[in-house]
């Protein structure tokens, strides 16, 4: 019996979760550092200063250090979930964040950024990506609904074991312009940067 897309995605999420459990926090931190060095090299020659990132969970590419290191020189924005949608707020220091249930994710407090056109680059987390640029999230569809509202360059960041030749996709799954792992940078849309 052939699996439908949702069942395939569910199995893939389970597989990735299992792989993640084999790594220590320290290994994730080292891999994340390599990913952010590659990200810095990719945008080094550009003047981009309005970047949307995300405040990472324990099993995601670690973003905290990069955000804290750069938010005084660049405008760093983070997603906030309100009414099942992504809203955007500026990051202005860890002291200006609050922990939000049910997942205990930290989100910035302050005013929502309404003008999404000012965002130049979005660092996008995901459970899995493929070499064609498609992304699979955790199943809530937040980024799939949000990304079409912006014209920002989409850069998916993930660990090498989260990158596949092909993943199950639906018509609403968002596509990336670049994907960065600790082992490579994949260019899907060369014109983006």
Q: What is the pLDDT of residues 80-112, one digit of tens each?
A: 999 989 999 999 999 999 998 777 889 999 899
The predicted pLDDT at position 2 comes to 56
Alpha-carbon distances, residue 143 vs 24, 68, 74, 85, 138 (angstroms): 27, 23, 22, 9, 10
**pLDDT bracket for residue 193 (50, 70, 90):** confident
- Give yes or no for residue 1 having a pLDDT over 80: no
> What does the pLDDT average to over 137-158?
95
Q: Where are the domains of the chain?
A: 5-187
Determine the Cα–Cα distance for residues 103 and 109; give it in Å rounded to an integer: 17
CA distances from 148 to 14, 49, 55, 129, 130 (A): 27, 21, 21, 18, 19
Reported as a single tens digit per residue, the pLDDT across 28-85 is 999 999 999 999 999 877 889 999 999 999 899 999 999 999 999 999 999 999 998 9
Whether the Cβ atoms of residue 127 and residue 16 lie closer than 8 Å to each other: yes
- CA pair distance 177, 12, nearest whole angstrom: 22
CATH 3.30.70.980 given to domain 5-187: no
Q: Which two tokens stand for residue 51?
A: 């970047």
């Amino acid at each position: 019996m052939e699996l439908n897309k949702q069942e395939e995605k569910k199995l893939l999420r389970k597989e990735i979760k299992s792989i993640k459990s084999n790594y220590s926090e320290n290994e994730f931190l080292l891999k994340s550092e390599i990913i952010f060095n590659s990200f810095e090299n990719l945008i080094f020659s550009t003047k981009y200063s309005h970047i949307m990132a995300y405040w990472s969970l324990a099993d995601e590419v670690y973003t905290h250090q990069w955000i804290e290191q750069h938010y005084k020189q660049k405008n760093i924005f983070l997603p906030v979930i309100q009414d099942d949608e992504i809203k955007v707020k500026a990051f202005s220091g860890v002291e200006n964040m609050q922990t939000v249930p049910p997942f205990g994710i930290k989100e910035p407090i302050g005013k929502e950024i309404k003008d999404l056109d000012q965002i130049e680059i979005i660092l996008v987390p995901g459970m899995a990506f493929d070499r064609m640029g498609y992304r699979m999230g955790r199943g809530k569809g937040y980024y799939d609904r949000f990304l079409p509202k912006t014209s920002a360059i989409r850069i998916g960041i993930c660990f090498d074991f989260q990158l596949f030749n092909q993943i199950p996709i639906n018509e609403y799954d968002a596509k990336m312009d670049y994907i960065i792992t600790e082992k490579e940078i994949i260019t899907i849309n060369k014109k983006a940067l």
